[in-house]
Amino acid sequence: EYDGERNSEGERHGRGKARLPNGDTYDGEYENGLRSGQGTYRFKNGAFYIGGYLQNKKHGHGTFFYPDGSKYEGYWVNDLRHGYGKYTYPNGDTYTGEWFNHNRHGQGTYIYNDTRSKYVGAWVDGKQEGHAELIHLNHRFQGKFLNGNPVGRGKYVFDIGCEQHGEYIQAVQDKAEEEEEEEPSLPVVPKWKASETTKLTLWTPHGENPPSPKEPSQV
């Protein structure tokens, strides 16, 4: 069922409205019979998408409202979340950063709504992995993460002006596969083994030592 413009071949072309056999509806732009350009697609389950299309697939910038109340606003490629975008989860958590093939991947910031804690750093295939900071109300952890958990050497920095160095001893943990809707990340508490407490020192995200200060040249 279609109401809109067509080209000389009779294909949907230009602006139009369509009701699909499964009950979904689309109101937007077409090109040579395919959804291309800007449009609004409403699913019969209550979800809807407003944004760009290319050859029937979500492409470019767009916002998707999921049935569970979550929302993704950002870039799409070939129907997948890809590029830079923000996902707001049903519990109020948010992720803002890079996406690759539908997963959180690259650099991004995840904010936990209930505690206001914040993970700032690297992601791989939807999981917290690589160098990052986990920032809490009055202290932060700086180190490396693997499969969503802190691992290996790192340090806690406290607002009172000191830091505690040590390492995380990791327990193996399995996680079920994610469904289409993003699952919120849950903070975990692996075992922390402290080694020493010192005054504040400079932290670099990739574990590199900062260059030594150069002596001022004599005039």
Domain assignment present for 179 = no
Return the pLDDT at 170: 59
102 and 168 together in one domain = yes
Structural domain contains residue 103:
yes
In a domain, 210, yes or no: no
Query: In terms of domains, do 197 and 118 share one?
Result: yes
Entry pTM: 0.80
Flag whether 217 is in a domain: no
Give the per-residue pLDDT at 70: 97
Range of the domain at 60: 1-66
**pLDDT recorded at residue 50:** 98
Instruction: Answer whether residue 37 is part of any domain.
Output: yes
* The pLDDT value given to residue 1: 92
- Same-domain check for residues 123 and 194: yes
Q: Does 40 fall in a domain?
A: yes
Looking at the fold, whether 54 and 100 belong to one and the same domain comes out as no
Looking at residue 137, its pLDDT comes to: 92
How many domains, the chain? 2
The residue behind tokens 């993704």 is 72
Please indicate, yes or no, if residue 80 is contained in any of the structural domains.
no
- Do residues 36 and 118 share a domain? no
110 and 160: one domain? yes
- Same-domain pairing of 56 and 122: no
Q: Is residue 77 domain-resident? A: no
Pair (42, 96) in one structural domain: no
- In sequence order, what DSSP letters do the residues of the chain get, joined into one string? -EEEEE-TTS-EEEEEEEE-TTS-EEEEEEETTEEEEEEEEE-TTS-EEEEEEETTEEEEEEEEE-TTS-EEEEEEETTEEEEEEEEE-TTS-EEEEEEETTEEEEEEEEE-TTT--EEEEEEETTEEEEEEEEE-SSEEEEEEEETTEEEEEEEEEETTTEEEEEEEEPPP---PPP-SSPPPP-----EEEEEEEEE-----TTSPPPPPPPPPPP-
Query: Does one domain contain both 43 and 111?
Result: no
Q: Do 128 and 166 share a domain, yes or no?
A: yes
Tell me: do 3 and 103 sit in the same domain. Answer: no
96 and 198 share a domain? yes
**pLDDT 10s digit of each residue in the chain, 219 long?**
999 999 999 999 999 999 999 999 999 999 999 999 999 999 999 999 999 999 999 999 999 999 999 999 999 999 999 999 999 999 999 999 999 999 999 999 999 999 999 999 999 999 999 999 999 999 999 999 998 899 999 999 998 889 999 999 855 555 444 446 676 665 556 788 888 888 887 766 655 444 444 444 454
Say how far apart CA 37 and CA 82 lie, in whole Å. Answer: 18
The CATH number of the domain holding residue 132 is 2.20.110.10
